[in-house]
């Protein structure tokens, strides 16, 4: 096979760990994937020379820590600021090529569309897009250009969620009656890390969407209606007029015609000294039993004078080894490496793009999570009224 070129759009926290002690998830995954010597160029596109410069420093450090040699070109190269730079890079890249889109939510649709239209296999961080209109257009362009396009729903690779899926689909706990999800993160996420674009999203869209996808993945049920309510408090008091917390209720229908509900409670105003980045739990009660998964308390507690009590999640994106010999493992790494492996198989002709449906979080699969998200956002704007999800069918 010819070399596979990779272009990454976005150079922020998730790509390079900018603004954190770590190195994000995308570049550690690319570092791991490159260990297998699959050749091809890597290009990273941001909006300004200054911001990609910060990412470059982080990534240089990461490469030394991992002891991987990868040549990377950063854009914009000759201009101080150019938010349209991705167009030039994508249209010039030689194929086969894969694109990883990792920019603020409101730009996912436009950039992913451009990548697919230019014949690039494309992975987009969640949510694919906040509206069904955008998702419909994205599916159309993906099919027309016969490229493989997926959403980076990494929780589908978490063993705890695979166990949840098998438990439900295997009938072990009978028919699901209700799901309860609690998912929250620290105050600095909306107030510092995403300050620039936080007002274009909300906490359900940022966190809740993950479990909407997991419930769909684990049940294959169809969402029928949704409602949501939210509270403004701490963030509003700091001058950002957005919800501290959003709670959504979704009614689903199984292929058997039986219905269940899911109650997804989210916030991003957890104290800074909470013991984990993500406080996350899911439980489902069925007619024959229950399944409970504490996805915050993964069994490790580290207590130090410096940092107090920490309960890290070793299963998402964790560094193992010492500087100069570090490898990254976890479901975040697997999700990105799997996409690239799939692209290689498609390019070799050993699998077809259509074979991915039902097996991976393809653009088509994410029609469900966006249908729910759109209903939740509409309900929030309409005093919590129930919104029927009748636009589900493509």
- In the complex, the residues that contact ligand NAD under the rule CB under 6 A are 9-15, 18, 45-47, 51, 83, 86, 102-105, 107, 125-126, 194, 206
- Contact call for residues 103 and 90 (beta carbons, < 8 A): no
Assigned token pair, 250: 């979704």
Nearer to ligand NAD (CB atom), residue 60 or residue 390: 60
Nearer to ligand NAD (CB atom), residue 25 or residue 142: 25
Q: Supply the minimum distance, in Å, between the C-beta of residue 124 and ligand NAD.
A: 8
Nearer to ligand NAD (CB atom), residue 27 or residue 353: 27
- Contact call for residues 60 and 23 (beta carbons, < 8 A): no
Q: Supply the minimum distance, in Å, between the C-beta of residue 48 and ligand NAD.
A: 7
Q: Supply the minimum distance, in Å, between the C-beta of residue 259 and ligand NAD.
A: 30
Assigned token pair, 112: 């992913």
Q: How far apart are CA 100 and CA 115, in angstroms?
A: 9
Look at strands 245-253 and 259-270 and give their pairing: antiparallel
Tell me which residue has its CB nearest to ligand NAD: 12
Q: Supply the minimum distance, in Å, between the C-beta of residue 129 and ligand NAD.
A: 10
Q: What 8-state DSSP symbol labels residue 156?
A: G
Q: Supply the minimum distance, in Å, between the C-beta of residue 140 and ligand NAD.
A: 22
Nearer to ligand NAD (CB atom), residue 152 or residue 182: 152
Nearer to ligand NAD (CB atom), residue 240 or residue 345: 240
Assigned token pair, 283: 């439980």
Q: Supply the minimum distance, in Å, between the C-beta of residue 349 and ligand NAD.
A: 31
Nearer to ligand NAD (CB atom), residue 194 or residue 363: 194
Q: How far apart are CA 287 and CA 81, in angstroms?
A: 57
Cα angle 389-390-391, degrees, rounded to a multiple of 5: 95
Residue with tokens 């190195």: 23
Nearer to ligand NAD (CB atom), residue 289 or residue 314: 314
| Of 238, 163, 248, residue with least CA distance to 206 | 248
Q: Supply the minimum distance, in Å, between the C-beta of residue 155 and ligand NAD.
A: 10
Nearer to ligand NAD (CB atom), residue 17 or residue 230: 17
Q: How far apart are CA 118 and CA 48, in angstroms?
A: 23
- How many C-beta atoms surround the C-beta of residue 385 within 10 A? 11
Q: Supply the minimum distance, in Å, between the C-beta of residue 86 and ligand NAD.
A: 5
Q: How far apart are CA 227 and CA 251, in angstroms?
A: 9
Secondary structure of 222-236 in HEC code, one letter for each residue: EEEEEEEEEECCHHH
Dump the DSSP string for 151-193.
E--GGGG-HHHHHHHHHHHTTTT-SEEEEEEEEEEETHIIIII
């Amino acid at each position: 096979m010819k070399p596979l070129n990779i272009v990454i759009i976005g150079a922020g926290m998730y790509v390079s760990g900018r603004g954190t002690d770590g190195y994000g998830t995308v570049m550690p995954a690319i570092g791991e994937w490159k260990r297998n010597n699959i050749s091809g160029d890597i290009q990273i596109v941001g909006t300004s020379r200054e911001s990609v410069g910060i990412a470059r420093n982080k990534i240089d450090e990461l490469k030394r820590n991992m002891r991987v040699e990868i040549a990377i070109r950063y854009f914009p190269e000759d201009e101080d600021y150019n938010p349209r730079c991705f167009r030039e890079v994508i249209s010039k890249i030689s194929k086969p090529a894969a694109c990883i889109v990792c920019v603020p939510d409101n730009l996912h649709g436009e950039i992913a569309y451009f990548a697919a239209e230019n014949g690039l296999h494309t992975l987009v961080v969640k949510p694919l897009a906040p509206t069904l209109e955008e998702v419909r257009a994205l599916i159309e362009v993906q099919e027309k250009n016969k490229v493989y396009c997926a959403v980076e729903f990494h929780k589908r690779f978490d063993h705890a969620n695979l166990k949840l899926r098998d438990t439900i689909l295997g009938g072990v706990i009978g028919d699901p009656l209700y799901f309860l999800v609690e998912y929250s993160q620290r105050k600095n996420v909306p107030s510092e890390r995403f300050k620039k674009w936080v007002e274009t999203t909300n906490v359900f869209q940022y966190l809740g969407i993950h479990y909407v996808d997991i419930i769909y993945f684990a049940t294959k049920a169809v969402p029928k209606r949704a409602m949501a309510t939210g509270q403004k408090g701490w963030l509003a008091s700091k001058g950002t007029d957005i919800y501290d917390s959003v709670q959504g209720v979704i009614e689903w229908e199984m292929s058997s015609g039986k219905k269940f509900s899911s109650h997804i409670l989210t916030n991003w105003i957890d104290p800074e000294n909470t013991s984990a980045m993500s406080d996350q739990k899911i439980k489902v009660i069925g007619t024959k039993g229950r399944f409970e998964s504490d996805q915050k308390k993964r069994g490790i507690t580290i207590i130090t004078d410096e940092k107090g009590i920490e309960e890290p999640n070793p299963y998402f994106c964790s560094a193992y080894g010492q500087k100069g010999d570090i490898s990254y493992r976890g479901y975040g790494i697997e999700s990105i490496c799997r996409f690239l492996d799939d692209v290689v198989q498609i390019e070799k002709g050993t699998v077809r793009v259509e074979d991915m449906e039902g097996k991976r979080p393809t653009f088509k699969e994410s029609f469900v999570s966006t249908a729910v998200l759109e209903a939740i956002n509409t309900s929030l704007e309409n005093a919590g009224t129930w919104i029927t999800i009748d636009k589900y069918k493509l």
